[in-house]
Amino acid sequence: MYQINDNYQKLPGSYLFSTIAKKVAAFTEANPDKSVIRLGIGDVTQPIAPAIIQALHKAVDEMADAASFHGYAPDLGHEFLRHAIAENDYKKRGCSISEDEIFVSDGAKSDSGNIQELFDVNCKIAVTDPVYPVYVDSNVMAGRCGVYDSDSQTWSNVIYMPCTRENHFIPEFPKETPDIIYLCIPNNPTGTTIPKTKLQEWVDYANEKGAVIIYDAAYEAYITQEDVAHSIYECMGADRCAIEIRSFSKNAGFTGVRLGFTVVPKVLTCNGVSLHAMWARRHGTKYNGAPYIIQRAGEAVYSEAGQAQLKEQVAYYMKNASVIKEGLSAAGYEVYGGVNAPYIWLKTPGQMSSWEFFDELLEEANVVGTPGSGFGPSGEGYFRLTAFGSYENTVAALERIRNL
């Protein structure tokens, strides 16, 4: 008789968003006259920019004609898109990443979940705490995390690097040496970043210890401060220790369109084995490419009109971020993030737990956010609000919070 992959049974249920949904549903049922504003979502709300829509329409029409029809894309993705990425995301920032080191995909979630396949089951991962759940859960499925302890909400075989106000949300080198280090900068959920000099220290550390860094730069477009790197390859030696994952979801509203890419430099090797060759093999075997139409839409992200429109879109969300940040600060809250990311991470007032604050905010202000404890034990006592709502709703929500 067959057996299942028992590692799936180890996963604790993801109660965070279902518990939120249940609580909100119960509240709205009991209070049908109250309008609830949701600032908990991690999804964009603005429509796809006109330059991209235009590219989509054009690509759809091409598919209707045998002369311009496109079937399977090349394994790494269409050259026109990889060229635009290499030029705009890397060459312009002084990073020597070539087109054939870029692997186009359907998004950063799949890549950040799949990348662990390249590594031995005995490799030990290190994650920041709080953290985007995909990194840990995908390693649990692969049998790399040991056993879960529900009291401490940690896995026995995972190295946690707490990121709290005490260390300014900058992860410290762990006592135990990790093999695989996940970094997400700008960070979801905390909305914070680390200076480029600190990132360089992490790159040096990884090279010295023989560790690999999985660098999730999904929020790169939101960086406003000069001293924050847009790519890990801005750091010396990063091409020998880092894989970078990017997404078109947050910079261009592609959450429902699906496009991303992963950079695996050719000089990145482990005991003489090329990780680029491994990822190419994996990509060619298990993935048949993002749709041609969507890759054309991705190309339009880098067009002059696309860039201008997206700059406005990001600015729209960042205006919301400053409304939240300034509104909360004025109301006496301790707030972090919101400068280089569309997330605001606030310290709950007094000794309130994340969930206690969630309940108060829902019941008294009719505003929904996300309890920080849902992202890891060090998120306890914090709370996430997102800038992805409409400006009007964001202003209204802050008005309510200030009147609490």
Q: Fill in the per-residue mask, 106 to 135: x = in contact with ligand PLP (CB under 6 A), - = not in contact.
A: -xxx--x-------------------x---
Nearest position to ligand PLP, beta carbon: 107
The nearer residue to ligand PLP, 43 or 79, going by C-beta atoms, is 43
The least distance separating ligand PLP from the CB of residue 284, rounded to whole angstroms, comes to 21
- Considering the rule CB under 6 A, would residue 257 count as an interface residue with ligand PLP? no
The least distance separating ligand PLP from the CB of residue 164, rounded to whole angstroms, comes to 19
- Considering the rule CB under 6 A, would residue 372 count as an interface residue with ligand PLP? no
Secondary structure (H, E, C), the chain: CCCCCCHHHHCCCCHHHHHHHHHHHHHHHHCCCCCCEECCCCCCCCCCCHHHHHHHHHHHHHCCCCCCCCCCCCCCCCHHHHHHHHHHHHHHHCCCCCHHHEEEECCHHHHHHHHHHHCCCCCCEEEEECCCCHHHHHHHHCCCCCCEECCCCEECCEEEEECCHHHCCCCCCCCCCCCEEEEECCCCCCCCCCCHHHHHHHHHHHHHHCCEEEEECCCHHHCCCCCCCCCHHHCCCHHHCEEEEEECHHHHCHHHCCCEEEECCCCCEECCEEHHHHHHHHHHHHCCCCCHHHHHHHHHHCCHHHHHHHHHHHHHHHHHHHHHHHHHHHCCCEEEECCCCCEEEEECCCCCCHHHHHHHHHHHHCEECEEHHHHCHHHCCEEEEECCCCHHHHHHHHHHHHCC
The residue from 85, 161, 213, 218 that contacts ligand PLP (CB under 6 A) is 218
Total residues interacting with ligand PLP, rule: CB under 6 A: 15
- Considering the rule CB under 6 A, would residue 298 count as an interface residue with ligand PLP? no
The residue from 138, 231, 249, 370 that contacts ligand PLP (CB under 6 A) is 249
The residue from 28, 157, 224, 255 that contacts ligand PLP (CB under 6 A) is 255
- Considering the rule CB under 6 A, would residue 188 count as an interface residue with ligand PLP? yes
- Considering the rule CB under 6 A, would residue 235 count as an interface residue with ligand PLP? no
The least distance separating ligand PLP from the CB of residue 246, rounded to whole angstroms, comes to 8
Instruction: Pick the stretch among 192-200, 246-254, 264-272, 318-326 that binds ligand PLP (CB under 6 A).
Output: 246-254
The least distance separating ligand PLP from the CB of residue 255, rounded to whole angstroms, comes to 5
Residues 17-76 touching ligand PLP, rule: CB under 6 A, are 42
Interacting residues with ligand PLP (CB under 6 A): 42, 107-109, 112, 132, 184, 188, 216, 218, 247, 249-250, 255, 260
